[in-house]
Structure 1
Amino acid sequence: MGEAPVEQERKSRTFYGRRQGRPLRKQATDLMENLLPSLTLLLELGEEKNSYAPFNPAEQFGNGNPVWLEIGFGGGEHLAYQAEHNPDVNIIGVEPFINGVASLLKHLDANGARNVRIHQADVRQVLPAMTKGSLERVFLLFPDPWHKTRHNKRRLLQVETLDHFARLLKPGGELRMATDDMGYLRWMLERAVPHPAFEWQASGPSDWDRRTPDWPQTRYEEKGVEKGRKPGYLRFLRKA
C-alpha cells in the first residue's frame, strides 16, 4: 500500500522558479554591493550536500532580542515595515528572487532599519539548520500557489514545513500565513488546522478576512485586490 498523501509531503522538496527578472538599476546594484554584505545571514556549509551547519539565529545579531522569520518576502514592504516598527526584534528574511532582495534593500535604506538578516536561497535548506525553539514568529505571506494540481507538490506549505515550524517556534509563538488563492487557502487550512502543534486563532469570518493592525498591505496584495482577488489571513499559535 502506498503512503498517504500528507505523509508523502514530508519528503524533501526541490525549489522551482526563476531567480531574477528585469535587470537591476544602478541604485539597486549599489545596494546589493554595499548594503547587502552587512545584512547577509552568515551560514556554514553542512556535511551533507545542499545543507547548512546548525546555527542559532539569535547569534547572527549579537543580542538577545526575539527572532522572527519571513519566508519569501517578495518586494520587502512587509518585512521592512516590521523591522522599522519593531526595533527590539530581529528579523530574518529568506528570498531567492534577486529583484525582491534589491527591493527590500531599497526599503531598508530608506527607513534605516538594520535589525535584519537576508538569505538568498530556498528556505527549505535553512529550516533544518536552525536551533530548536529559536523563533517567536514566522511569516509565510502570499507564496506561489502553483495552481495546477500536478504542481501542488511544489507548494511551500507542506506538512513537512509545518513540522519545521513546530520545532522552531517557541510555545506561544505565532505563524502568520496569507494567500489570495482560495485553493491554496483551503490547502493551508487542511494542513495547519489538524496539525497537533498549532491552534488556529479564529472564532469568526472577521478573523481571516482582514489583517490585524500590525499587518501592512504589500504591493502584491494591493494589485491582487485591484484585480478582484480576496485575500485570506491566517494566524496560528504554537501550542505549549
Structure 2
Amino acid sequence: MSKRSHQVMDAPGPSEPLLREPQKRFYRQRAHANVFVDHELDYPASPDQMDWSLHYPNYFPAKDGQDLKQVEWADVGCGFGGLLMALAPQFPDTVMLGMEIRVSVTQYVADRIAHARQAAIVAPEGAEEKKPGGFQNVSVIRANSMKHMPNFFAKGQLSKIFFLFPDPHFKVRKQKARIVTTALLAEYAFVLRPGGILYTVTDVKDLHEWMDHHLRKHPSFEYIPTEELADDPILLAAKTATEEGRKVERNGGDKWVACFRRLPDPEE
C-alpha cells in the first residue's frame, strides 16, 4: 500500500512552524464520484495487513502492555469531516475513521486533522501548554466503501457506522449506486458487531424511505425508534455537525433520520 495516500501527516512539533488551518476553496472537487469505476485506490488484501500506525501513531502498535485499540466507528462518505471533528474530542478513547472517495476532499480532512492535532499540543502564546493527544483518535482514508469495507475491517469490528447525507442518485437507472442496497447491507452487517448501530440521516425523503425500507427488510438489523435516541449526543452530531447538515438548517429544510441496531447472528 502507498503510505502517502492514506496517511494523516504528522503535525510539526511545538518548535516548528504552525500548520495553517485548511480552507475549502483550495480543495476544489466535483460533488460526486462514480463508485463503479477504478479510482486506483490503495487498500489492504485483508484487515490484518492494514498498517493503522500511519493514522493513529499514539495507539498503534500497542505500547507498555496496553491492549491494542481498534477502529470502532466509521463515517462512510465523510465529506469534509464535520462529524469526525465533532465527535473526536467528545469520545477521546474511541478510534474513529472517515472514508471518502474524492481525492481533494480526503486531503482536506487529512490536513484538517493534522492542524487540529497540532493545535491541541501548541497553545497560544502566553497560555499553558496543552497536553498532547487531541484528535489522535481520528483519521481519514481515501476508499470506496461500496467495494472494500471488509478489506479494512474484520468481522464485528465496528460498533457504529454512519451514512450521513449520501448521494441520493435520483435517477432510477442510478439507484444501484446508492450506498444502501440489499447486497451492501450484508457487508455492513459483517463488519458491524451485534448491538452496534447504523445511523442514516438525509434531507431527501425518497432516499430516507429507500434506506429505511431496505434496512427494515434485512434480517441482520432492527429499527430503533428515534425517540429512544433523543438524548444521544452521537445522533445529535450526526444531524448537525456535517457541512450538509448545517446547510439544510440554514435553508430551513427537513432532515430524515433512521437508525438500526445490528442483531446477533442466528445460532448455527
The TM-score, its normalising length taken from structure 1, stands at: 0.71
Structure 1 residue 57, shift from structure 2 partner: 9.1
How far apart in 2 are the matches of 1:232 and 1:164? 24
| Aligned pairs for 1:125-144 within 5 A | 125-129=147-151, 130-144=153-167
SS in 1 for 2:89: helix
1:152 to 151, 175, 184: 175
- What RMSD, in angstroms, separates the aligned Cα atoms of the two structures? 2.8
Query: Contact 2:74 / 2:97 at 8 angstroms: preserved in 1?
Result: yes
- Could you tell me which of 118, 133, 136 is aligned with 2:140? 118
Aligned to 2:11: none
Q: Kindly state the Cα deviation for residue 178 of structure 1 after the two structures are TM-superposed.
A: 0.8
Q: 1:151 to 1:117 in 2, by over 3 A?
A: same
**What fraction of aligned residue pairs are identical, expressed as a percent?**
27
Match of 1:143, SS?
coil
Residues 98, 200 of structure 1: CA spacing in aligned structure 2 closer, same or farther, 3 A cutoff? same
Q: Which residue of 2 aligns with 1:187?
A: 210
* 2:243 aligned partner: 219
Tell me what 1:81 maps to: 86
Q: Which amino acid aligns with 2:47?
A: F
SS at match of 2:207: helix
Given the superposition, is the C-alpha separation of residues 211 and 77 from structure 1 closer, same or farther in structure 2, using an over 3 Å criterion?
farther
Counterpart CA distance in 2 for 1:68 and 1:80 is: 13
CA distance in 1, matches of 2:95, 2:154: 15
CA distance in 2, matches of 1:114, 1:137: 19
Q: Distance in 2 between matches of 1:158 and 1:51?
A: 22
- The Cα of 1:173 is off from its aligned counterpart by 0.8
1:19 maps to what in 2? Answer: none
**Equivalent in 186, 189, 201 of residue 166 of structure 1:** 189
Per-residue deviation, residues 192-221 of structure 1 (Å, max 9, x unmatched): 01110111101x6x569x784333212211
Contact 2:71/2:97 (<8 A) preserved? no
SS, match of residue 47 in structure 2: coil
Secondary structure (helix, strand or coil) at the match of 1:136 reads: strand
Larger Rg: 2
Range moving further from structure 2, 103-112 or 157-166: 103-112
CA distance in 2, matches of 1:144, 1:164: 19
Q: 2:95 aligns with which of 82, 90, 93?
A: 90
Q: Hey, what does 2:12 align to over in structure 1? A: none
Check the 8 A contact 1:57/1:67 in 2, yes or no: no
Contact 1:66 1:136 in 2 (8 A): no
What displacement does 1:149 show? 1.6
**5+ residue gaps, structure 2:** 1-19, 24-40, 53-59, 62-67, 121-133
TM-score by length of 2: 0.64
Deviations, residues 128-151 of structure 1 (Å, cap 9, x unaligned)? 323111111111111110111221
* Conserved? CA contact 1:58–1:65, under 8 Å: no
CA distance in 2, matches of 1:190, 1:201: 14
Moved more, 80-89 or 109-118: 109-118
Unaligned runs of 5+ in 1: 1-25, 30-48
Which residue is 1:4 aligned to?
A: none
Cα offset, 1:233, TM superposition: 1.6
- Residues 77-124 of structure 1, C-alpha deviations (whole Å, 9 max, x = no match): 101111221111111211012343244235422353011232112112
